[in-house]
Amino acid sequence: MRYSETPFFQSNQTTNITPFLNESQGSSSNSALIVGVSSGAGFAIIILALWLWHQKMKKSKTIEEGESALQPDKSYSYQQLRLSTNDFGEEYRVGKGGFGEVFKAILDDENVVAVKRLHVDHARVKSEFETEVRLTSNVQHRNLVRQLGWCIEGSELFLILEYIPQGSLDNFLWGDKRGTLNWEKRFNIILGVARGLAHLHNEFHVKIIHRDIKLNNILLDNDFQPKICDFGLARLQPDDQTHVSTRRLAGTLGYMAPEYAINGHLSEKVDIYSFGIVVLETISGRRCTDEHFSGPDTSHLLEHAWQMYEKGMHVDLIDQALDVEEHEKINVMKTIEIGLMCTQSPASLRPTISEVILMLSSGLSLGPEKLVKPSFIDPRRVIYIGAIGSQNK
């Protein structure tokens, strides 16, 4: 581009550029004329206006396309789901949770899927289901369970999801598959969960806060790749707010961050806290609500892990069923420290999920030399009544 304070061409001047074309391209049978404008500045303004208009139209189109892309992929009939599960028979049921049941089914040319059946008793849940469908229909990541379709039948709502054969992570830590995960697999699971959260927090076109990260919401495929499931509790966080206050809790005690459990403050750091608890459970093989680790005064896993860290003995937190090589212990201890870093209070001290991934991948710490003690909430003795903030101990 060239710039000048005076016009390049006189008003209404024409210039034959054929000689220039012939000179650079050999010969040309076409003649060309270029018409100058009276003001180079005026021409630049016109170009700038056209460019701004094009960007505005492009952005508008992108928003419209994003909205339409949030529509669910496929609607299934209730009859299809009923027949594929033998009328939702017990032999097809593979899971049950607070939101309903999960059935294994075969749909669409012998494709094995999971059918999540939600029991609805009021309109609010139906509205939340529609929100879930809009959010999750366009989420695709190797560490997130993919939604394939949906069904609405009266008061019953269904999600059709990809089927993950090996079940949830908790079954490998304290279920019938206990002892089958070595340290390499456990570390890769922790890293994979972090990557799935990073997609929800940073890489999707809107920020999604899961609000219920826990072991039985982490499924393992045949290659032991983790996949985060159950976005029924997912909520959006506006980009211009640091937290959202909610007057109705959603999540699981023991995994719930103090600022969210007590004051209803919701931010992506709530998921970071839950992730930290998952890290400690995955390494220790113990539930976060287990009691009396190091005496009657230790009420739960997080407090026990902190006490061990303060004594420099957090290597003793490692699951006894986990045969860790001597050269791996440093990495395990570093991962425990990252888990504790994710549970610090206030929430501003916790790293982002991107920083967590960097620390896990590099083995380096981005935090202070000395971690800040978490706020301990005993999940067995705290009962939440009514509005957020009311509690009996």
Binding-site residue positions for ATP = 116
Q: Determine the residue type at 91.
A: E
Whether 198 and 357 have beta carbons less than 8 Å apart is answered as: yes
Marked catalytic residue, from 73, 170, 176, 212: 212
Our measurement of the distance from residue 274's CA atom to the centroid of its chain's CA atoms, rounded to an integer in Å, reads 12
Q: Give the CA angle between residues 79, 84, 86 to the nearest 5°.
A: 90
Q: Helix 329-341 vs helix 301-310: angle between axes, to the nearest 10 degrees?
A: 120
Q: Provide the pairing of β-strand 100-107 with 111-119.
A: antiparallel
Dist CA 125 CA 147 (whole Å): 19
Dist CA 215 CA 210 (whole Å): 13
Our measurement of the distance from residue 91's CA atom to the centroid of its chain's CA atoms, rounded to an integer in Å, reads 32
212 is catalytic: yes
Residue ranges for the known binding site are 116
Residues known to be catalytic: 212
